[in-house]
């Protein structure tokens, strides 16, 4: 493998696979990072629907199965589907608000949620070819702003984890900070003093040592592990036939559009990290996979799926850009869906351990966005205003989630997503300042030069 003189860490060319052992370890890093987000959506919806603990566990396994299959297809590519880049897929948070409301609606419930997910996935497959043509509206100015906002919107999650998580009885206690600090310190030291294989698995090593430390001081809760079955196969339509109602379907179709906006920004960010130009054809294949995964998810007892932003930071952190890493990660997710005990062990990783690793990785996403902004004419006052306003809009749901509480409920997928807010703002302002105002600006510049 070659060594990057700028980052001082080795990088793997996008099409060059790693040795099998390294492939498994780096793939496991991706799984550990996204696992908490992957199981959070079925946990929330299962509780809102009043399911038993066993049924919620089945929802989680169903989500892992679909996420694994979608990750493999997205990364490896099958025919016209899959962007063929190192992308991790999982249940999207964009639909959580709408699905919680559906769970309590008479005549809708879980079957109605699955029906709306199927219909929205089909709708997404119809509009994906048209959405893929928006790449030209994402110059470095917009892309850099969106990627910077992705990192900033993720960073509070890392800080929350590092402080012990939302369920911590003493948030910010020294013991949590010590564990998070150890994980972060190990990652930094490995990247400073090691090369090659060790840099590739630095996050895994840091989290492993953090897990051992957390377990030795009683922070790891393994209660219920004995009751978890060794093997469980996810069967389609486990909760009955899906039902289709107009209002839930329309709400979920809006969610799919927002997922497409988010995924477009994430794909472009990943393209910058891996030094690959994301063409309209690649974007179409990636969005088709997002929509197809949601369509299949409804039959397999789970929810709308999209690419996970936090894993972009891991690609940037380790320098491993080989798509077969996430293919392996997808295979591991499928394996976990069949082995509830193994999934239980990963779910027992304390938030402080995840937080220590995420501080570095989510920060790397922000750093990537800042680097891309250097390609734009950031000295221009209008462009500075675009960045300032868009990043500000992106932070609104992070700083005060209730800011848009009085707005109509159908707007929640937009107003509750910092990534969607920042993306839409950057697109609109770029259209106003640089596309529609391009002729005016050119005339103004010519007049200035003449004087």
**Taking a C-beta distance cutoff of 8 angstroms, is the pair 332, 121 a contact?**
no
pTM of the full predicted structure? Answer: 0.69
What are the pLDDT digits (tens) for 366-407?
A: 887 888 788 888 888 899 999 999 999 988 888 888 888 888
Q: What is the mean pLDDT of the chain?
A: 80
Give me the mean pLDDT over the 266-273 stretch.
84
Tokens of 13: 């060319």
**Taking a C-beta distance cutoff of 8 angstroms, is the pair 335, 342 a contact?**
yes
Q: Which helix (H) or strand (E) holds 89?
A: strand 89-91
Give me the mean pLDDT over the 48-70 stretch.
82
**Taking a C-beta distance cutoff of 8 angstroms, is the pair 222, 30 a contact?**
no
Characterize the bridge pairing of strands 10-11 and 89-91: unpaired
CA 166 from chain centre, in angstroms, equals: 20
What does each C-alpha distance from 194 to 60, 187, 199, 223 come to in angstroms?
Answer: 37, 10, 6, 37
Q: Which of 80-84, 294-298, 335-339, 412-416 has the lowest mean pLDDT?
A: 412-416
* CA–CA distance, 41 with 297 (Å, rounded to integer): 13
Characterize the bridge pairing of strands 305-307 and 2-3: unpaired
**Taking a C-beta distance cutoff of 8 angstroms, is the pair 252, 116 a contact?**
yes
Of 405, 423, 358, residue with least CA distance to 149: 423
User: Does the pLDDT at position 289 exceed 90?
Assistant: yes
User: Does the pLDDT at position 5 exceed 50?
Assistant: no
Which has more pLDDT, 195 or 64?
Answer: 64
* CA–CA distance, 138 with 131 (Å, rounded to integer): 12
Give me the mean pLDDT over the 290-298 stretch.
92
Give me the mean pLDDT over the 48-61 stretch.
76
What is the predicted pLDDT for the residue at 53?
A: 65
User: Does the pLDDT at position 112 exceed 70?
Assistant: yes
Beta bridge partners of 12: 320
Beta bridge partners of 78: 81
Instruction: Give the largest Cα separation in the chain, rounded.
Output: 81
What are the pLDDT digits (tens) for 100-110?
A: 767 766 777 88
**Taking a C-beta distance cutoff of 8 angstroms, is the pair 260, 83 a contact?**
no
User: Does the pLDDT at position 117 exceed 70?
Assistant: yes
CB-neighbour burial class of residue 68 (10 A; exposed 0-12, middle 13-18, buried 19+): buried
Question: SS3 for 279?
Answer: coil
Looking at residue 409, what DSSP letter applies? G
Which has more pLDDT, 159 or 341?
Answer: 159
**Taking a C-beta distance cutoff of 8 angstroms, is the pair 318, 4 a contact?**
no
CA 312 from chain centre, in angstroms, equals: 8
Give me the mean pLDDT over the 140-168 stretch.
81
What is the predicted pLDDT for the residue at 440?
A: 58
Q: How confident is the model at residue 347 (pLDDT cuts 50, 70, 90)?
A: low
DSSP string, 248-270: HHHHHHHHHHHHHHHHHHHHHHH
Of 420, 422, 431, 430, residue with least CA distance to 141: 430
Q: Which of 198-212, 221-235, 396-410 has the lowest mean pLDDT?
A: 221-235
Where b means 16+ CB within 10 Å and e means fewer, 412-437 reads bbbbbbbbbbbbbbbbebbeebbeee
Which has more pLDDT, 5 or 315?
Answer: 315
Percentage of the chain exceeding pLDDT 90: 15
Of 280, 247, 41, 343, residue with least CA distance to 138: 280
Q: CA gyration radius for the chain?
A: 22
Looking at residue 230, what DSSP letter applies? S
* CA–CA distance, 301 with 121 (Å, rounded to integer): 14
Q: How confident is the model at residue 437 (pLDDT cuts 50, 70, 90)?
A: low
Tokens of 30: 């991706």
* CA–CA distance, 141 with 58 (Å, rounded to integer): 43
User: Does the pLDDT at position 9 exceed 60?
Assistant: no
């Amino acid at each position: 493998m070659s060594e990057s003189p700028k980052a001082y860490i080795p990088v793997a060319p996008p099409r060059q696979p790693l040795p099998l052992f390294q492939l498994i370890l780096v793939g496991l890093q991706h799984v550990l990072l996204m696992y908490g987000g992957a199981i959070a959506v079925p946990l929330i919806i299962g509780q809102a629907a009043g399911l038993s603990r066993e049924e919620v566990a089945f929802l989680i396994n169903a989500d892992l199965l679909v996420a694994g299959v979608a990750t493999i297809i997205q990364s490896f590519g099958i025919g016209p589907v899959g962007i063929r880049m190192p992308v991790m897929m999982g249940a999207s948070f964009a639909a959580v608000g709408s699905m919680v409301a559906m769970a309590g609606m008479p005549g809708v419930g879980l079957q109605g949620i699955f029906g709306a997910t199927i219909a929205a996935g089909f709708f997404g497959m119809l509009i994906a070819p048209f959405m893929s043509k928006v790449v030209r509206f994402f110059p470095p100015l917009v892309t850099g702003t969106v990627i910077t906002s992705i990192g900033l919107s993720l960073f509070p999650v890392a800080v929350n984890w590092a402080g012990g998580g939302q369920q911590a009885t003493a948030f910010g206690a020294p013991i949590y900070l010590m564990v998070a600090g150890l994980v972060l310190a190990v990652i930094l030291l490995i990247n400073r003093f090691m090369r090659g294989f060790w840099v590739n698995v630095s996050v895994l090593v840091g989290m492993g040592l953090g897990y051992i430390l957390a377990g030795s001081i009683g922070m790891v809760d393994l209660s219920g592990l004995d009751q978890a079955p060794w093997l469980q196969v996810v069967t389609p339509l486990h909760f009955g036939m899906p039902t289709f109602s107009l209002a839930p379907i329309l709400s979920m179709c809006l969610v799919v559009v927002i997922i497409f906006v988010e995924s477009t920004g994430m794909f472009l960010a990943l393209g910058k990290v891996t030094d690959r130009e994301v063409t309209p054809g690649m974007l179409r294949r990636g969005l088709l996979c997002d929509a197809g995964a949601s369509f299949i998810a409804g039959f397999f007892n789970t929810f709308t799926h999209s690419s996970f932003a936090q894993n972009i930071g891991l690609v940037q952190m380790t320098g491993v850009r080989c798509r077969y890493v996430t293919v392996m990660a997808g295979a591991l997710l499928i394996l976990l869906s069949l082995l509830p005990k193994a999934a239980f062990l990963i779910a027992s990783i304390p938030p402080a351990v995840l937080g220590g690793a995420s501080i570095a990785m989510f920060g790397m996403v922000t750093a990537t966005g800042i680097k891309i902004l250097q390609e734009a004419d950031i000295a221009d006052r209008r462009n500075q205003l675009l960045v300032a306003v868009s990043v500000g809009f992106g932070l609104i749901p992070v700083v005060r989630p209730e800011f848009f509480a009085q707005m109509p409920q159908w707007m929640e997928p937009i107003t509750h997503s910092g990534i969607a807010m920042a993306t839409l703002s950057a697109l609109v302002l770029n259209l106003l300042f640089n596309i529609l105002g391009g002729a005016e600006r050119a005339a103004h510049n010519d007049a200035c030069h003449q004087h």
